[in-house]
Amino acid sequence: MSVGIVLVSHSAKLAEGLAELAAQMAPDVTILPAGGLSDGSIGTDYDEVVAATQRADSGDGVVLLYDLGSAQMTAELAVESLADPSAAIVADGPLVEGAIAAAVAAQAGQDRKAVAEAAAAAGIPDDLAPAEEAPADAAEVELELHNDVGLHARPAAVLVRTLSEFDAEVTVRLGDQEADGHSVLALMSLGARQGDRIRVRARGPQASAALEKAKELVDGNFGE
Amino acid sequence: MACEAAGVAAAVRAAAAVVAEHRVELIDLDRAIGDGDHGENMNRGFAAVVAALDSAVPDTPGGVLKLVATMLISKVGGAAGPLYGTAFLRASAKLGTVEAVDVPALLDALRAGLEGVQARGKAVGGDATMVDALIPAVAAAEKAAEGGGDVAAVLTAAADAADTGAESTVDLVPRKGRASYLGERAVGHMDPGARSSALLLRAFAEAAR
């Protein structure tokens, strides 16, 4: 079970395409598109948003994302109409990046508040920081990427999902850029490609286990 | 004079006719500063309202307004759906099960409708939205009621003020909705939502006479 996600868009194609993209990174999460009007034209269909929100809820609640202003209003109205409005949250984040971040958070088993926060945080461009010297208590491994696409969407999602199982703070470094190892978007924006050497750094009670698992993933080409 | 469910339904039908008549005007206003769908959306929504009234008229004024809200929310498709939908829904809730709308009930419903629009759209006066028609409309309605006006007089005062309020959006820089992306370039155009609000109030006022 995980938090469900509903993508509210003026365009059916946009919502469907995004659901397809996000599902690739979160295979076990129910991600439903609710885009366009029932006659195929552009607009947001309140009834469809309500129905999708009800269907996406497997017991852990739902997070809704929207594209433009009126889609936000439709989404909020739909949530207010639910038997239990606290079961769903309209997340305030960029639609595409927010949907990816929310999907990965939901896949990792986070609750709806955390999933909504992940979507909202996707709009804040502070994920990449200049790399700093390793703190004394951090462990680090250097890994070479052999898989075809490097640290692209799916591998980044797999890495984040795996790392979320460990009690450890993880960062990934490429050259002089450093990304939060728990953020798919940050990892993707490193732009690490096949042949690049990344340095994975971890601290916390399960730091070494996390690094071992990261090495396993990279060496196994993320299961590609 | 108070207005019962049948009278409210007649006023809603009149509003639907006005929306249909001004469909192209609303489209043109919206095309200048938005996405051009306001006239089409409003017309689709009110056509659905009329179709629903054709099959059954609810027993109370509140029931009629709730039906209007439900249809607009489901059928409009653009921002006007949730905005007007919330306005009619709040007005309906305020009226509850009263059999007829008198002046105090009308004022309550108008205030609740305005509050609903503002709660949903987060717009304030001066943002160049329907709120710029509705705020002066509610104030004028209250003033007309204090002066002893009946339902028709109160609605006429509201419609007059809404017309002036809609005119005022011509000179404003939009801060909400699609038009806000245009910024200064939207100055010189009336907000289509303010215009439709004024049209609806005028239709209600004419129907109440």
| Prediction ipTM score | 0.81
CA–CA distances in Å: residue B80 to residues A37, A108, B18, B69: 14, 38, 16, 11
Task: Name the residue in chain A with its Cα closest to that of B117.
Answer: A73
CB spacing of A43 vs B37 below 8 angstroms: yes
pLDDT at A119: 94
Burial class (CB in 10 A: 0-12, 13-18, 19+), A1: exposed
Question: A38 and chain B: CB distance < 8 Å anywhere?
Answer: no
Say if residue A20's pLDDT is above 90: yes
**A31 and A98 Cβ atoms separated by less than 8 Å:** no
> Taking residues A22-51, what's their average pLDDT?
93
**B70 and B45 Cβ atoms separated by less than 8 Å:** no
Of B41, B77, B79, nearest to A69 by CB-CB distance is B79
pLDDT at A125: 59
Cα angle: B133, vertex B134, B135; to 5 degrees: 100
CA–CA gap between residue A158 and residue A188 (Å, rounded): 12
Q: What is the dihedral of CA B151, B154, B157, B159, to 10 degrees?
A: -60
pLDDT at B2: 73
Sites in chain B below the pLDDT cut of 50: none
pLDDT at A96: 95
CB spacing of A43 vs B78 below 8 angstroms: yes
pTM beyond 0.80: no
pLDDT at A124: 67
Q: How confident is the prediction for chain A on average, in pLDDT?
A: 91
Say if residue A39's pLDDT is above 90: no
Of A44, A69, A77, nearest to B77 by CB-CB distance is A44
pLDDT over 70 for what percent of chain A?
A: 94
Nearest to B179 by CA among B132, B119, B112, B139: B132
Question: A70 and chain B: CB distance < 8 Å anywhere?
Answer: yes
Burial class (CB in 10 A: 0-12, 13-18, 19+), B183: exposed
Say if residue A135's pLDDT is above 80: no
CA–CA gap between residue B126 and residue A4 (Å, rounded): 39
CB atoms closer than 10 angstroms to residue B1: 12
pLDDT at A133: 66
pLDDT at B78: 87
> Taking residues A79-102, what's their average pLDDT?
94
Q: Which two tokens stand for residue A183?
A: 């953020």
Q: Which two tokens stand for residue B190?
A: 């009336």
* Structure confidence by residue, pLDDT tens digits, A142-192: 999 999 889 988 899 889 989 988 999 999 999 888 999 988 888 988 989
**A77 and A159 Cβ atoms separated by less than 8 Å:** no
pLDDT at B182: 87
Say if residue A132's pLDDT is above 70: no
The set of catalytic residues of A is 10
Tally the C-alpha atoms within 13 A of residue A206's C-alpha that lie toward its C-beta. Answer: 11
Q: Which of A102-111, A115-124, A127-136 has the weakest average pLDDT?
A: A127-136
Q: What is the identity of the amino acid at A168?
A: A
**B143 and B157 Cβ atoms separated by less than 8 Å:** yes
Give B37 to chain A, closest Cα distance, Å. 9
Identify the contact set of chain B against chain A, taking CB-CB distances under 8 A: 37, 41, 73-74, 76-83, 85-86, 120-121, 176-178
Angle between helices A12-25 and A95-107 (to 10 degrees): 40
* Selected residues 77-96 of chain A with any CB under 8 Å from a CB in chain B: 77
Question: A47 and chain B: CB distance < 8 Å anywhere?
Answer: yes
Burial class (CB in 10 A: 0-12, 13-18, 19+), A167: exposed
Burial class (CB in 10 A: 0-12, 13-18, 19+), A139: middle
- At A29, the pLDDT band (50, 70, 90 cuts) reads very high
Give A41 to chain B, closest Cα distance, Å. 9
pLDDT at A105: 93
CA–CA gap between residue B197 and residue B11 (Å, rounded): 14
pLDDT at A40: 87
CA–CA gap between residue B124 and residue B101 (Å, rounded): 28
